[in-house]
Amino acid sequence: MGTPAVAQGERHILCMKWGTKYGPEYVNRLYAMVRRHLSGDFTFVCLTDDASGIRPEVRCLPIPPLNLPPGIPERGWNKLTTFSADLHGLKGVALFLDVDVVITGPLDDFFTCPGEFLIIHDHKRPWRVTGNSSVYRFEIGAHPDVLDYFRTHFEEIRRQFRNEQAYLSDVLHKQGKLKYWPAAWCPSFKYHCIPRWPTNYWKPPFVPQDARIVIFHGECNPPDALAGRRNRRFRHIEPATWVAEHWRE
């Protein structure tokens, strides 16, 4: 069996913003980075509960309702609504990006890389199938079963999986549809950009070779990386001045 062909059609960049953790500047800067690094036409869609302050080039649409029980820990479950059978009538291929990534290289290959569903391979536990959903690509409307099963089996899924990316990766792996981006494309700031101890005390973070989208997870976001970190509780980080070059409007 050959490698599945890349779906043809309109290209969409999807992101999602809800609650108060991230302001509109994250969406605005993400759009600007995409525009600088993706050639040709695309639509940029933000699924959000608050469109205020978001630049007019971004099409803001409501997050499809998930109707989760109140008070549960936030584990990114809302991302699963991108797999709605009808996502606001959108058609074509979507590249989903977390709003706190920093784009440092060309994006065109993210739309041409062969595969039915592509995601980052988890950096911390590479022996697992779990992907990191900071960056994933799929054909809109092609995987409604992912969301439909979640809606009817939430408590069971919540007991088995810590978060949405573990559930998502497991389902698509069992279907034989899971594929990972080339490892160099989406490095982790936390694991790949901070120099090893003790050189992190005098060497600043760097952009790894062939990096295209630097992902942030844990307690450090782009503004934290730019400012550096000198407290004793977390690992020392010199200011990552290159963040300012890329993370801007």
Per-residue pLDDT of the chain in tens (249 residues, 90 and over written 9): 344 444 457 999 999 999 889 999 999 999 999 999 999 999 999 999 999 999 999 999 999 988 777 767 666 889 999 999 999 999 999 999 999 999 999 999 999 999 999 999 976 777 788 999 999 999 999 999 999 999 999 889 989 998 899 999 999 999 999 999 999 999 999 999 999 999 999 999 999 999 999 999 877 899 999 999 887 666 899 999 999 999 999
216: Cα within 13 Å, side-chain hemisphere = 19
pLDDT at 229: 87
Assigned domain for 228 exists: yes
73-132 pLDDT per residue, tens: 666 889 999 999 999 999 999 999 999 999 999 999 999 999 999 999 976 777 788 999
Contacts of residue 105, Cβ cutoff 8 Å, sequence gap at least 6: 37, 185, 210, 211, 212, 213
For residues 104 and 135, the answer to whether their CB atoms sit within 8 Å is no
**In a shared domain, residues 114 and 214:** no
Q: Is the dihedral of CA 221, 166, 60, 114 positive or negative?
A: positive
Domain stop point among 128, 154, 180: 180
Q: How many domains does the chain have?
A: 2
Which among 247, 198, 197, 249 has a CA at the least distance from the CA of 227?
A: 247
Assigned domain for 1 exists: no
**In a shared domain, residues 103 and 151:** yes
Residue 87 neighbours by CB distance under 10 Å? 21
- Integer-rounded Cα radius of gyration of the chain: 18
Assigned domain for 5 exists: no
**In a shared domain, residues 137 and 239:** no
Assigned domain for 20 exists: yes
pLDDT at 233: 66
Cα first-last separation, the chain: 44
Contacts of residue 8, Cβ cutoff 8 Å, sequence gap at least 6: 93
**In a shared domain, residues 175 and 219:** no
Assigned domain for 146 exists: yes
**In a shared domain, residues 114 and 230:** no
**In a shared domain, residues 102 and 41:** yes
Domain stop point among 157, 180, 203: 180
Assigned domain for 3 exists: no
pLDDT at 8: 54
Q: What are phi and psi of 45, to 5 degrees?
A: -120, 130
Assigned domain for 2 exists: no
**In a shared domain, residues 84 and 166:** yes
For residues 134 and 217, the answer to whether their CB atoms sit within 8 Å is yes
Q: Which structural domain range is residue 22 located in?
A: 11-180
| pTM of the shown model | 0.93
**In a shared domain, residues 56 and 151:** yes
